[in-house]
Amino acid sequence: MKKILAVDGISAKGIELLRAEFEVDVRDKISHEELLEIIADYDALMVRSASKVSADVIERAEKLKIIGRAGVGVDNIDLNAATARGIIVINSPGGNTIAATEHTLAMMLSMSRHIPAANQSVHEGRWDRKKFVGVELKGKTLGVIGMGRIGAGVAKRAIAFGMKVIGYDPYLSEERANDLGVKVGAFDELIESSDFITVHMPLTPDTKNMIAMPQMKRMKSGVRLINCARGGIINEQDLATALNEGIVAGAAIDVFVDEPIPSDHPLIGSKNVVLTPHLGASTIEAQIGVSLDVAEGIRAALNGEPVSTAVNMASVSQQVMRIIAPYLHLAERLGGTICALAEGAIKKLEVTYNGEITEVNTGLLTTAVVKGMLNPVLEKEVNYVNAPMLAKERGIKITEVKHKESSDFANLITVTAHSKGASCTVKGTLFGAEGRIVEIDNFRVDVDPHERLLVCPHINCPGVIGTIGTLMGKRGINISGMQVGKTEIRGRNLMVLTIDNDIPMDVLNEVKALDVIFDAKVVNFYSV
């Protein structure tokens, strides 16, 4: 039975889901050294933000197939090392959206009305009403840096408070901004004209220290900053200095570069700052949501199914996944077929889509074709993560073409492989929910992709089918299906046999030696 390690306090709901199929070990608190010692035994790892899945952990994870981060960010996971090993990394991009959105508003209100300090003073027996005069949100301008799910949610709620909202995001369109009631602003405009600024960006080389002292000095007098996204986007030392010198009027920070923060952290004891210990996703509902999201992804991955929330492969929305999912198995089998039929090493692979399917992102389908093409010829496991990289390492150029028109089928996938001086083509579609190969090198067929196929172009003359059938029968090889494909080339047909047994090389050579046979190739899907 496959084994899963769950660390960092994963919600029991997700663990219960996985225990229905797998063995799950729970270690709510685990040191890096302990993780290094035991990771080799596990097929999957579930983490939150505490454990660092660094390159040394991944190097020892001999069986690991997937790492699930119960949350949005994956900055505690070495993505490059995981991808190089073919390990899927998933997160839960929507599971804690509401929790993080609401915590941002809570931090904004707490900061603007001095609620934490006022609460503490009352507990200490004081009644300092004049000391805690705050500011209202109504009529103020909120700058939202990063207009994804959380940023958009914050903007929507801020507008309900009567705030004006400026949104900065490289991918924010005017149409989307209008729908949200947000003004699109450049970064410089936002920091210079906002009364409150909240960040909702991932931590990348481009966003690290994007708000530091030079930016703070350009902000409005009385500006207040909120960071419930990732530590390091706002420079912590510069923020402490700006608070103490009155350059920034207030701040509310939930995330830090190093967590937990040390007792001598510059923000501890700074003026007008609210600090919380990374509580953005800490609601009962969010913890259950991200746990179930990641558990579903791990279950799918360990069962050989694609995962829509993977961050180191082509991302696919749930809506798109529903459309393309029925084609994934077919696409993989088309890749396996083209691998078997190609003459020599494949140098270029072209995947063409026709019909309604061209209206959605087909990147994952193309990856499935590549996966199917490489699986039969590589010793290492080929999956949806490493397939594009493995093809690139071998100098195989992958191209994707879309034509909305489709004359014969509502949707059609065509795979063409180019090798040295030759090319071959297979086409497939769905009949209902069943994938079918409908054409091989211009021969029209109707083939159910089975575990094994024997493909034989031959002379169109009497007795060919009987000869092959007799030869197979004498060697104890059962034929469970047969198709004869026609083409416009006179005197030439294509026979495709679905067979239930391995074909020994001497039998295959005997078939090839027949005068009426041009060639014979076996397509074996057992490894695909």
Active site residues: 230, 259, 278
Q: Which residues of 212-237 are buried (b: 16+ CB within 10 A; e: fewer)?
A: bbebbeebbeebbbbbbbbbbbbbbe
Q: Cα 445 to chain center, whole Å? A: 35
3-state SS assignment for residue 234? strand
- As a 3-state breakdown, the chain gives helix, strand, coil percent values, each rounded to 5, of 35, 25, 40
d(CA 81, CA 53): 10
Distance separating alpha carbons of residues 142 and 164, to the nearest angstrom? 6
Chain Cα centroid distance, residue 248 = 38
Q: Tokens 């695909």 map to which residue?
A: 528
- Bond preceding residue 260 cis, omega within 30 of 0: yes
> For residues 141 and 135, what is the distance between their CA atoms, to the nearest angstrom?
13
Cα distances (angstroms) measured from residue 473 to each of 467, 470, 513, 519, 522: 10, 5, 17, 20, 17
Q: Using an 8 Å Cβ cutoff, are 280 and 96 in contact?
A: yes
Helix (H) or strand (E) holding 132, with range, is: none
* Residue 207 CB neighbour total at 10 angstroms: 17
Tokens in use for 188? 């410089």
Residue 67 Cα distances to 54, 184, 203, angstroms: 12, 36, 19
SS (H, E, C) 247-283: CCCEEEECCCCCCCCCCCCCCCCCCCEEECCCCCCCC
d(CA 433, CA 435): 7
Helix segments in 381-504, DSSP class H = 387-393, 464-474
**What backbone phi and psi angles, to 5 degrees, belong to 171?**
-110, 10
| Residue 524: count of CB within 10 angstroms of its CB | 17
HSE value, Cβ hemisphere, 13 Å, CA-based, for 382 = 23
Supply the angle between the helices 115-123 and 97-112 in degrees, to the nearest 10. Answer: 70
